[in-house]
Amino acid sequence: MEGRCKYCYDYYETGIKNNVKSFINRLEKGANILTEDDIDIDEDNENENNNNNNNNDDDEVENLNLVLSEKDKIEQEFTDKLVNVLNW
Q: What is the pLDDT of residue 31?
A: 56
Contact 13, 85 (CB under 8 A): yes
Alpha-carbon span 9 to 86, nearest angstrom = 8
Q: What is the pLDDT of residue 82?
A: 84
Question: Domains of the chain: which residue ranges?
Answer: 1-33+58-88
Q: What is the pLDDT of residue 1?
A: 47
Q: What is the pLDDT of residue 76?
A: 79
Through-space distance between the first and last CA atoms of the chain, rounded to whole angstroms: 10
The pLDDT averaged over each successive group of 10 residues in the chain (88 residues) is 72 84 76 55 56 60 70 81 82
Alpha-carbon span 23 to 38, nearest angstrom = 22
